[in-house]
Structure 1
């Protein structure tokens, strides 16, 4: 997948997917479970192979090292969420409705057990493995950022909105969709929010974005 690197006039390439094969899904499912329960450093290749029901040789044929396996788990999970949102947004969908679809997706991601636990893992390990933190950002959050910017470019071309700094607008929107829910979950001081609590943030993020960037004709 190619995305636009808007800080310059160049193209940025997303991390390459792992080699696919008959046991790929089994390996990924096993790795997902082991990483979530044991962390990045604590997860062993032996445990992942055992959980996936494959040999270590098979596992290494897909992922030559543990870091790539960890990043692939994140990449696949993020892509599933982003592709689900994109499949619902077409040029015919009104701006307000498209923003709501995006907000629902972001809020669901930020409040998912998977994202919260993976985020904790990366923060905990990034001091010892700084490359892991950078690649986590490029594999997950950065892809969502660029897809939002791409949508804003297309919406501007249709005359639906005009935004000078689309990167900043995308960042504002993503942060509004976190509100205080993500931080509380991250720190373990709040349980998963109710749908009413999530709707409050979703509606607020859409309203604030439109008030800032399209106050008159959206």
Structure 2
């Protein structure tokens, strides 16, 4: 049965290992050790590492979306709110977990097309829609000028990937430094506000 303390331990242990090592680098022995359970217990819940990863990735997408909800505070100035969001997006794209999610969704998209769509609905789409709602409200209140909030939200996410995701995806760079991630986040906000900001 997929509930209870041991099931939660398996997911917590798997999340720690997958976040650190990605799907390819994680092995079942390390996951069982991190979870504090036997391999037999782990296999009783998840007979396949891919199924376990999918469950962890689904939870991670939901966790990212919930964290994004905490950032959407209309009382914050646009630059502060966008910078908080940019840092979160940049950190996610710099992580082994995001690379593994992307690679697995692409690799399995023909056999399991619903899997990729579910990941998108559970994470990126929720975050995009929340940002679009904020941009719509900020435009109505006069602090931003955004004609198409959904397109602008997608553009913001792409700016936050620049200089990180493609290099990580193709193995050109290992996990990038905090300083570089901060530079990317700030630059994304600067460029976004140069297009959609309101002059003081």
Which TM class, normalised by the smaller chain length?
0.7 to 0.9
1:115 aligns with 2:101: no
Structure 2 counterpart SS, 1:87: helix
Distance verdict in 2 for CA 1:134–1:84, change over 3 Å: closer
TM-score by length of 2: 0.76
Residue 26 of structure 1 corresponds to which residue in structure 2?
9
2:199 paired residue number: 216
Q: What is the aligned-residue RMSD (CA, Å)? A: 3.4
Moved over 6 A (4+): 47-51, 65-68
Does structure 1 residue 59 correspond to structure 2 residue 49?
Answer: no
Q: Extract unaligned runs of 5+ from structure 2.
A: none
Residue 180 of structure 1 aligns to a residue whose secondary structure is: coil
- In proportion to residue count, which structure has more helix? 2
2:56 aligned with 1:73: yes
Tell which deviates more after alignment, 156-165 or 91-100: 156-165
**Corresponding pairs, count:** 193
Instruction: State the 1:176 CA deviation.
Output: 0.4
State whether structure 2 residue 150 is matched by structure 1 residue 167.
Answer: yes
* Pairwise CA distance, 1:163: 1.8
Q: What SS does the aligned partner of 1:198 have?
A: helix
Secondary structure of the residue aligned to 2:5 is coil
Query: Contact 1:78 / 1:140 at 8 angstroms: preserved in 2?
Result: yes
What is the alpha-carbon distance in structure 2 between the residues aligned to residue 200 and residue 187 of structure 1? Answer: 21
In the alignment, is the contact (CA less than 8 A) between 2:144 and 2:198 conserved in 1? no
Structure-1-length-normalised TM-score: 0.71
Q: Is the contact between residue 168 and residue 175 of structure 2 (CA under 8 Å) also seen in structure 1?
A: yes
Once residues 34 and 96 of structure 2 are traced to their aligned partners in structure 1, the CA distance between those partners, rounded to angstroms, is 20
CA 1:190–1:88: 2 relative to 1, 3 Å: same
Q: Secondary structure of 1:160's match?
A: coil
Query: Which residue in 1 is equivalent to 2:172?
Result: 189
Structure 1 distance, partners of 2:110, 2:170, is 19
Q: Is the 8 A contact 1:145 1:170 kept in 2?
A: yes
Structure 1: any 5+ residue segments left out of the alignment?
Answer: 1-18
**What is aligned with 2:124?**
141
Would the alpha carbon gap of residues 88 and 59 (structure 1) be closer, same or farther in structure 2, given more than 3 Å must change? Answer: same
Matched residues in 1 for 2:132 and 2:189: separation? 16
Q: C-alpha separation between the residues in 2 aligned to 1:181 and 1:204?
A: 13
Q: Tell me, what secondary structure is at the counterpart of 1:145?
A: helix
